[in-house]
Each structure stands twice: as structure tokens, then as C-alpha cells.
Amino acid sequence: MKWNTFPIDKIRGFQHFLKIFKELYCLLPVLLVIVALLLTLPGSARDQASACVLEDQSPSGVQQDGDIILGIVLSLFRSRKDHMKIEFNQKPSPSRCISPSISYYQHYLAAIFAIEEINQNANILPNLTLGYRIYDACTSESRAAANTLSILSGRAASVPNYSCNDKGTLAAFVGHLLSTLTYVVLDITAIYKFPQISYGAQDPALGDRQQFPTFYRTIINEKYHFVTISQMLKMFGWTWVGIICSDDESHQRAVNKMSSEITKNGGCVAFVAVYTVENIWTLSNSIEKIRRSSANVIIVSSNSHFLHRILISMQLNIELKKYFLFPSSLENMSSFLFSLLNGSLILSGHQRAIPGFKEFVFNAHPTKFSDDDFTNLVWFILFGCSKSADNSSGIYIPACSRNDTLSYFDTSFYAINNYITYNMYVAVYALAHSLHKVLYGEPHEKQLYKSGFHLDLYKLNNHLKSIHFQTASGDEIFFNEHGEVQGNLEIENWISYPNETTAIRKVGTFNSSAPPGEQLLINKSDIIWGTPLNDIPQSVCIGTCQLGYRKMEKKGLPVCCYECVKCSDGEISNVSDMENCITCPEDEWSNENRNKCIKKTITFLSYAEPLGLILANLAVLLSITASLILGILIKNRHSQIVKANNEELSYSLLLTLILSFLCTLLFIGKPMKVTCMFRQVTFAVIFTISISSVLGKTVTVLIAFHAITPGSMLKIWVGKRAPRCLVLLLSLGEVIICFMWFLHCPPFPDYDTRSQPSVMTLQCNEGSAVAFYIAVGYIGMLASVSFITAYLARRLPDIFNEASHITFSMLVFCCVWVTFIPAYISSKGKYMVAVEIFAILSSSSGLLGCIFFPKCYIILLKPERNISWKATSTKKSINQYNSPFVKGIASCFVE
């Protein structure tokens, strides 16, 4: 291995440089004139260095020759810039590499370990050696660009678009850990169609195959981190969270997508605190905002280097107690920060052990990698020693002892089986297996690659798309259509115990290939939150809406800052924080607390309640009254007042009125199938007979007095035969209607669950509303005809003065049923039945009182009027119409 240095300045992207070069070349004469004029201005800031000569930033690299070369751009050290306001009249100061990271160094060792294993395996690249050029970008974009150009040039001093490499064929690139630096490397390598595999870049935009057709990664896509975070927030009931992120484009884009995912799942982002490098050490305003926020859970989206600075600033504020969610794993976390992170949750890639790698790491030593200046520098910073004693600088540097190994450090701060390290290992193997397919896919081509050759990058890229192999750890590795490996995430709990010991515990997993709803599995009982009773911390804008309440959005506030509103009648919420209340089934109703549906009370018009008892007694009383009147008329059947008004129809009318009063008893009590089937039909038929009898009385009178006209055809209908036929015929019409009603859709018992919300009325469903209204309409038609005929007969001689009584009775009947319609419609439940009973009793009472009370009054209280009426009134009335025929007709009524 060989240490390389080469001069380079900050570059914004070689790809962009090549695009504008041709345009600038055409404008070169004009630009030269402008530059000449600018140089003549006094005080103009000039840079004495040539624009084509890049100043030295002391980049570092390690290489090993081979037949095939892998270019690897990674970070071993963190970078730091001298932050000052850029005036654009001088070059900004370059970034400087500072402290090394043990985890980053593991990534480096994983690459070397994988390459050594591949070179020792005769089945992968037989007769060929895999070499490498590894450069440290120090988490700096400018260094990443410089490193990429150096690898392409094959020498420390980069020569853009030209390769001086004569010690192996460059095949592909591996890197970088960070998405921001990956974009820089990719912008350059994509120009030359070199495949690039990242072991840590998670930006979802990198999965765009149209934009990045040669890019692959062995780490799970960051979008699954967003989904996992969103599901975790939902699982723990955290709807009000804050977000901290660094100011780079990749993390800003990640925050936007994460916020969208959180909002889509019903959560809200309380604040987004963006920290820039310039103000990272003056965070008092931002920390105050975090401290004042009611959001107790904070999602941190940042790279590890940046995150250390953020957390250190927060640690200085001892009153700040928040719980953190980290979408990606943390590396080299200082022990004093564990108290701040106690109870926090971190998403980490699936941890896998690399066989033999732990021993390889613990055996790493400057004496083992004698030409590896990376290892020498790391050991010098970590242990203060060198591979051999050195006093050349005037400061004595002792030689590293055999015990100066990484096993000295507590492995809780750097996991040997870190998933990023494993991803680096897999990335190198993926390229090796793809090279095997390209170089040894065809048997006759094997001899072509023993010495120098040209590698077909197009073929290499195609084989990477379809690569499928198994690692030494047993994992099946392949890339999907987006150039990504499928993988799982692990949820880790960071714990800081009172005795100052720390631990990281796995508490759950996320499987991206599992069905929705089964992807996230967390054992909540394994999590130590650091709360007094180990309760799940709350992070909501407003408290939980209790059972019986629902959320209602407040105007002008995020959806999570809602108001708790009690559920309406008939609705419940049996789970806290419900968006909408649940409507109870039709036969149930909400209880007083609105958290449970209970069976509705079943009601009907019964004899046990006062209303039903009063109506039943009234019906019986009226039927008795009608029976007494019938008895009086039967007893006085030979009297002229009874005989003069067609006694048969009077008896028929009284009998139907008695039955009409009694049929209302079918409407009272618990509705059953039999009572429902017959109560409306019985009422309709009985009422039809009653109205037909009344109509028969009036029609008989009209026929009698219109039959006196000579040659009248009505003469044949004079007598008792006409009313009998009329009653039978009209009643038969109602019987036919009811019969068809029974055949089509008979009435049946049913529950009315809508009229009265809190109760359920057991009632008789008419079956067919049309049939019911036809039956009632038929009765109404007969009543109207009876009223009209009675009205026409009201001025006939006194002997026939019953017509005026019938007119008044029909007027009462019609008024009762006209007012019944709105009263019935506006009534609910059992009161509808009560209104119908009252209408039947009222109309029947009108007929009974108006027609028969005057007769009973004369029979019982004024018997002399009955006698005088026969002796005088009848004779007088008959003599008015001095006609033998009329006398004969009159004799039909009085004899």
C-alpha cells in the first residue's frame, strides 16, 4: 500500500464544469477583454494563482495495485471549516480534517477485508487480483470531488478527462456514506458510465433510474425510515412532534418527505429547527423554542458529525428533557450524551456479523499495515504512538505497543457488527461477483483477461442489475428495479442507568417486504423510557379525548390541535381520540356517557299505562252506550219514530258502531301477528258498513221523493230492497280491497327505530301503504257521498227530518278525519296509535250522538211528541202531497 498526496482546490462539480466549458470557449475573446478591464480597476481583488492550477489541500489516499481497481471514496476523519462571511472577493478557506471516527475506520477496514478475501478466493476472480484506491473525503464535498478526479486520473495530481493509470483497469466506485457526498461523486462517475455502489447514502431521489442509471446501494432506502417513523408515532400515540435537521439539501429534502408521511398518518409537526454550521454553537434561541414546545418527541435528521454538535449544545441545557427518534443509527456517541438520549429510539439497519472481521479489526496495527498511512495517522491520534519511535520533529513519539489495538476501546461506542460496515463489505462483494459474470461469463473469453484488457462498463452495469449471490453471513443479495437491496430495520432503545452504565437494546423490527399492518413489530414491554413509572411519554398538542368524545378541528390550527366534543345522541366513541363517533345500530341507543350502545326500550300502547287504559275504558263505555241505544230502539221498535227511519238500517248502523268502538281494543296491547293482520281490516270493513248504512238511509229518502215524478225509473227501487242492496254492494267493495291487501302484503308486527331516537316502538307495519290509503280513501269517499246526499235531503218534509241529523253527523265525521291526517303524521311511536284510536272513537261517537241521541231523547223524555207526531205531523205532511202514490210511499215508513 502506498500513501498519496496531490494538490486540489474546492470544486463544485466536474460535470457542471464540462458542460459550461464549451460555452465559455466560444466567448473566450470577449471574456479576455472583460478580464483585462477588471484588472485595470484600482483595488480589484486578484488571485495570483492560475485558474488552472489547484492549490494543495493535503488530501490523502491509500492504494494497492491489481489487475482490476476499485475506487473507494469514504470518510475517515471529520471535516471542519473556518466559518466566516464570504465576500466573493477571495477564496474561502478549505475544509480541514480533524478527529478520526472509529466507526469510519471500520468501514475502511471492511473494504480491505473484503478485497483480501476475494483475492484469496479462486472461485471469484481466478488469475486476477483486485486492487483499490481509497481516498478520505473528510465529509467534505470539495474533497470528495478531488478524490474522484484523482482516482479517474490514476495519479495524485488529477488530470480531468485523462487517465495516467498503467497498473490496473479501473472498474467501479464504492461510496460515499453521506448522500451529499454521494451526489458529488456520482455527478463525475456517471459521465464515464462507471457503476457506483454506495454503502450509506439513503436519499430516496437516488433511486431514480432514469437520472442515475449506474447507481446502486447496499443500504435500505430512506423512504422506509419515513414509513417506520410514521408508524411508530401512530403506535405510541405521538401526534405532535418536532424535527431537528441540518441545513444540507439531502436532509432538508428528507424532512419534507418525513413531514408529509407524518401528516398523511394523522400526525402534525410542531416545528422544524434547521441548524446551520454558522450558528451551530449559538443555539440558545432554537433550544429555547424546543424547550417551550409542547412536543416532547423530537425527530433528528442529520449526519453523525453534525448531530454531535447539536446534542452537545442541548446537553448544556439541563432543563431540556425530550425524547428523540433517530431515523438512522448513531456512531461514536460520547458517553456523557447518553443521559440526554436516555429512552430514545433509533432506527438501525439489520445487524449482521462478518465472519472473521472482528479478529481482523482487533489485529489492525501500524506494524501490520506498515505502508498504510491511514492506520498510522489513526493510531497516532488515538494512542499517541507511531509504528516506530520517532524524534525527528523534536517531539518524541513512542512506538506503538502490541496492546495498542481497537480492543482497548469500549465496544458500546462502536459496534463491530455495525450495519454500515456490513454494507461496505457487501458492496465490494457485489462488484466482485458482477466482474466475475462479465469476465468469466463466457468460457471462450477467459484467456482474454490474464493481462491488460479493456473492461466493458456497459456489461458490468447490466450484470449488477441482475446480480444474485449469498454472503458468508447467509444473506441473499440482489438489487431491485431501483438499484437497491431489500432489507429490514431494527429499532433500538438507548438506555442510561442510574449507575452511569449505558446500553443499547433491540426492541423491534421493520420488515419492508411484509404485508401492510404487519411491517412494524415492537415489544413495548422491552422499552425503558426513563420515566418514573416507565410510562410511554406523551407528545400531543392537546390531551386525549376520552371515551364518549370525538375530535373536532379548530379553525386556523393544525389538525392535531383539536377540540374534544361529546358525541351526539345515538353515537358513541368507545376508543379514545376517535376522529368520528360510531352510530349505534337501529335497535340500540347511546348511554348517558356516550361510550356504549345499549338496547332501546321497547314501547307500545299498553293497557298498563294511563293513556291506553283511558282509551280502552272509553271504547268500552261507548260500546255499552251504543248497546243501550240499540236496546231502546229494539224495545220501541213498534213506535213510529223507529219505524219511520228504516229500522233495519238503524239496527245495522248501531251494531257496526258497537263493533267499531270495540275494534279499537285491537290497537291497544302488544302488537302480534294476528292482531296486526285484522285490526286495520276489521276497522275498515266495519266503518264501511256504518257509512253504507248512513248512505242507505239518505239514498232511500231521496229515491222516495224523486220517484213521485210520473214515469220515473226510481219507482222500482222504492222499499227496503234498495238500501239492503246498497249496503251489501258498498261493503263488498271494501272487502275486495282488504282481500287484495291481504294477498299482496298483509300487515305484520315491526319495530319503529327512527321516530323516537331513544326508544323502539313495537307497532303494526301496514305492509302496503298504498293498500292502506286505498281502504281509508274508500271510506272517505263514502262519507263524502253520504254528506252530499244528506245535505240534499235536509229540506224534505218534517216526517223525514233525519236527513239534517245525518248531515251534521257526516260533518263531524269528516272534520274528525280531516284533522286526523296532520295529527297522525306529526305523532310518533305509540302516540300514532292513540291518535288513530281517538279518531275512530270520535267519528263513531259523532254518528251515534247526532243520529240516535235525538231519537232516544223523544222516546225516553218526550214520549208525547212521538204520539203527536204520529197523529198530527204525519197526517199533515202526507196531505201536503195529495197523491195516492206518495201516500203509499209514506205508509212504507210509518207502518
Reported as a single tens digit per residue, the pLDDT across 280-314 is 555 666 777 787 888 888 888 876 666 776 776 66
CA 542, CA 535: separation in Å to the nearest integer? 18
CA 787, CA 779: separation in Å to the nearest integer? 12
Tens of pLDDT, residues 755-778: 777 888 888 888 888 888 888 889
Task: Give the mean pLDDT of the chain.
Answer: 79
CA 690, CA 698: separation in Å to the nearest integer? 13
Dihedral sign of CA atoms 391, 395, 400, 401 in order: positive
Counting residues of the chain whose pLDDT is more than 70, the rounded percentage is 78
Dihedral sign of CA atoms 27, 29, 35, 41 in order: negative
Burial annotation 572-588 (CB, 10 A radius, 16+ → b, else e): bbeeebbeebbebeeeb
3-state DSSP percent of the chain in helix, strand and coil, to 5:
50, 15, 35
Please work out, in degrees rounded to the nearest 5, the angle formed at the alpha carbon of residue 853 by the alpha carbons of 852 and 855. Answer: 65
CATH class of 2-41+51-82+94-219+415-478: alpha beta
How many residues in total does the chain contain? 895
Strand ranges (E), 196-322 = 196-198, 215-217, 240-246, 268-275, 297-301
CA 722, CA 136: separation in Å to the nearest integer? 123
Q: How crowded is the C-beta side of 306, counted as CA atoms within 13 Å?
A: 20
Report whether pLDDT(167) > 90.
no
Is the bond into 176 cis (omega within 30 degrees of 0)? Answer: yes
The secondary structure of residue 562, as a DSSP letter, is: E
Indicate the residue type of 476. Answer: E
Helix ranges, 441-553 (H): 457-465
Model pLDDT, residue 814: 84
CA 535, CA 37: separation in Å to the nearest integer? 72
Query: How far, in Å, are 73, 216, 504, 640 from residue 187 at the CA level?
Result: 14, 14, 38, 124
Dihedral sign of CA atoms 557, 562, 565, 570 in order: positive
pLDDT band at 55 (very low <50, low <70, confident <90, very high): very low
Neighbours of 247 (CB within 10 A): 15
CA 200, CA 424: separation in Å to the nearest integer? 8
Q: Helix crossing, 673-706 with 884-894: angle to 10°?
A: 150
Do the beta carbons of residue 502 and residue 530 sit within 8 Å? no
This prediction has a pTM of 0.62
Burial label for 664, CB within 10 Å (0-12, 13-18, 19+), is buried
Q: Where in the chain is the domain with CATH 1.20.1070?
A: 640-669+677-741+770-825+832-894
Report whether pLDDT(874) > 50.
no
Burial annotation 615-636 (CB, 10 A radius, 16+ → b, else e): bbebbeebbebbeebbebbeeb
Query: Stretch 497-504: mean pLDDT, rounded?
Result: 79
Query: Stretch 829-858: mean pLDDT, rounded?
Result: 87
Do the beta carbons of residue 410 and residue 500 sit within 8 Å? no
Query: How far, in Å, are 453, 597, 748, 758, 878 from residue 587 at the CA level?
Result: 84, 9, 18, 9, 70
Report whether pLDDT(645) > 80.
no
CA 851, CA 791: separation in Å to the nearest integer? 14
- Provide CB contacts within 8 A for 705, sequence distance 6+: 793, 796, 800
Cell numbers linked to 600: 332501546
CA 480, CA 311: separation in Å to the nearest integer? 36
CATH class of 222-354+487-526: alpha beta
- Provide CB contacts within 8 A for 494, sequence distance 6+: 338, 341, 342, 343, 344, 345, 346, 502, 503, 504
The secondary structure of residue 66, as a DSSP letter, is: -
Do the beta carbons of residue 772 and residue 740 sit within 8 Å? no
Tens of pLDDT, residues 772-786: 888 888 988 888 888
Model pLDDT, residue 16: 37
Model pLDDT, residue 404: 85
Main-chain dihedrals φ then ψ at residue 273, nearest 5 degrees:
-100, 115
CA 483, CA 500: separation in Å to the nearest integer? 44
Report whether pLDDT(751) > 50.
yes
Q: Where in the chain is the domain with CATH 3.40.50.2300?
A: 2-41+51-82+94-219+415-478, 222-354+487-526
- Report long-range pairs for 210-215 (Cβ below 8 Å, ≥24 apart): 212/186, 212/483, 213/461, 214/189, 214/190, 214/461, 215/186, 215/190, 215/483
Q: Which CATH number is 640-669+677-741+770-825+832-894's, of 1.10.3470, 1.20.1070, 3.40.50, 1.20.140?
A: 1.20.1070
